[in-house]
Amino acid sequence: MKKSILTAGCFLIGIIALAQSTDIEKVKATVDKQDIKNHIYYLASDELKGRETGTPGIEKAADYIADKFKAYGVQPVKGAEEGYFQHVKLKNVTVPTSIKASIGSTDFAKENLALLKGDNIVTAGQAVFLNYGTAEDFEGKHVEGKVVVTYAGGPDQTDPGSLFKLALQKRGLAQKAGALALLEIHEFNPQYWSSVSGYLNHEKMTIFNGSEEEDGLAHLWVNDTSKMLTTLKVGENLKVKLTVNGIDNKTLTSRNVVGMVEGTDPKLKKEFIIYSAHYDHVGVGAPNAEGDSIFNGARDNAVGTVTVLSAAENIARYPTKRSALFILFTAEEKGLLGSKWYVEHPLIPLEQSVYCFNSDNASYNDTTKATIVGLERTTASQHIKDACAAFGLTAIDDPAPEQNLFDRSDNVHFAAKGIPAPTFSLGFTAFDAEVFKYYHQVTDNPETLDYDYLEKFFRSYVLSCRNIANADATPVWVEGDKYYEAGQKLYGTDR
């Protein structure tokens, strides 16, 4: 009796070891150094000019990824366009070349004005003062075709978060009431104002959800340094002159690249593991001393793109129990926009998307490690550690919490929705000079990478994917995590 249990035990251990070694063999069969090199040398080539969103270079990268998906046998996702794409609507917002305003008898100098949102306008007419511009303040007031003037923030809400949040509320109310423009009066100290207006007077890209007309309302922040407007009376009619000129906003469509492989387990295939990375980078900038002006972004994030390509090739050939969803995001460098768009327009219901295994990279300083930002925050940590160990690497958690890296990449939009979402990165033990040497520098080139290390790194990622996607238990947030409750809300409390 004893002996047969022992024999059965040995047999079981043998099976587990065999399953593990088979998965290692499967990973080795598809992830190899030369393929990795080919992908990175193309994605980070000068031909793609740094893959900036809105330029032809990034479109070439998107087509390359889609061609690989097709070659691997990755399936298109229902609702995707032209096979493997999700269109992402963006707007490139420029700054006015001239901006002038006077309220009542007070003229404001250009340096005390900043456009928060909206389009060119030239007007001279009526303004109405609505205190803090709350819903009650708007009630019963006739503001159609007029300029609305309000104080910024709320009576006790002047912290930066509230200022921006309440500004959007006021904007919505002003638009609904048919106002011509909205001016908010601030009393910032000069240093703080210069950082706020510096941020606003800066070309940027945003998600474009609305229509041109809705987006057009000129919305200005006015810094009333000499407190000329502190005695305005609610409902008071004022004369106003307003000129905003030279804005040249353009909408554009960019592309997330998406594909899937259906799982093999009749029950678990309803659950999707997302494998994601951004494939854009920052484009072309000022030349360095050697005359190089192309930010090729080999580490950031051709490497991340290839983690997902490696997983796609492997899982298409050897499907896992859970289904796989591969997403390469556009416009991460413009403010995590492609991933934001995806979670707002998911192609697979978010509650079926049980895990997001993201990859993003600055650089590395330790080729014995893989750094997983958020490693210990989900119950998948052992799967990742085991996979790294199988290829001679040590998995470590975020060594630089002060950089707030977890909330600075695409994974954060998934986390905020409740989806466990760590980020798998090249091994770094500190965000130090060695990392900054390449992080967002023209030196981030393919020939500066250690491909022996990369082979271990990509194999570790793909084996982690297999371990997570084949495990009996669905990975969840560790109890008490910042996003634990969001997870309970998304999936229900019985998980």
Q: Which is nearer to Zn ion, 108 or 364 (CB)?
A: 364
The SS3 of residue 246 is coil
**Alpha helices per DSSP H over 363-439:** 381-390, 411-417, 433-436
- Shorter beta-carbon distance to Zn ion: residue 221 or 329: 329
* Torsion-angle region of 131 (φ positive above 0: left; ψ -120 to 50: alpha; else: beta): left
CB half-sphere exposure, 64, CA atoms < 13 A: 23
Between 361 and 379, whose beta carbon lies closer to Zn ion?
361
Q: How far is the CB of 356 from Zn ion (least distance, A)?
A: 18
Min separation Cβ 305 and Zn ion, Å: 12
Applying the rule CB under 5 A, the residues between 267 and 306 that interact with Zn ion are 300
Residue 300 or 398 having the CB closest to Zn ion: 300
Residues of this chain, 43-82, that bind Zn ion according to CB under 5 A: none
Task: Decide whether 298 or 419 has the Cβ nearer to Zn ion.
Answer: 298
d(C-alpha 164, C-alpha 124), whole Å: 27
Q: From the CB of 333, what's the least distance to Zn ion, in Å?
A: 5
In angstroms, the Cα distances linking 146 to 6, 126, 326, 399, 461 are 86, 6, 49, 54, 58
* Beta carbons of 438 and 448 less than 8 angstroms apart: yes
Beta bridge partners of 107: 102
For the CB of residue 439, give the shortest distance to Zn ion in the complex, in Å. Answer: 7
| Contact in structure between 312 and 273 (CB atoms under 8 Å) | no
Q: Quick one: which of 468, 398, 460, 457 has its CA closest to 40?
A: 457
Least CB distance to Zn ion at residue 332 (A): 7
| Of residues 30 and 445, the one with the C-beta less far from Zn ion | 445
Beta partners for residue 325, in sequence order: 260, 274
d(CA 103, CA 294): 46
Q: How far is the CB of 338 from Zn ion (least distance, A)?
A: 13
Minimal distance in Å, beta carbon 289 to Zn ion? 22
Output the residue with the shortest Cβ distance to Zn ion.
300
Question: What residues between 140 and 199 interact with Zn ion by CB under 5 A?
Answer: none
* Closer residue to Zn ion (CB): 52 or 300: 300
8 A C-beta contact, residue 94 and residue 248: yes
CB of 299 closer than 8 Å to CB of 438 = yes
Shortest distance (Å) from residue 277 CB to Zn ion:
11
Helix (H) or strand (E) holding 89: strand 85-93
Residue 378 is given by DSSP the state: B
Tell which positions 412-441 bind Zn ion, by CB under 5 A: none
Residue 184 or 300 having the CB closest to Zn ion: 300
Instruction: Tell which residue, 121, 139, 285, has the closest CA to residue 217.
Output: 121
Contacts with Zn ion by CB under 5 A: the residue count is: 1
Residue ranges in contact with Zn ion by CB under 5 A = 300
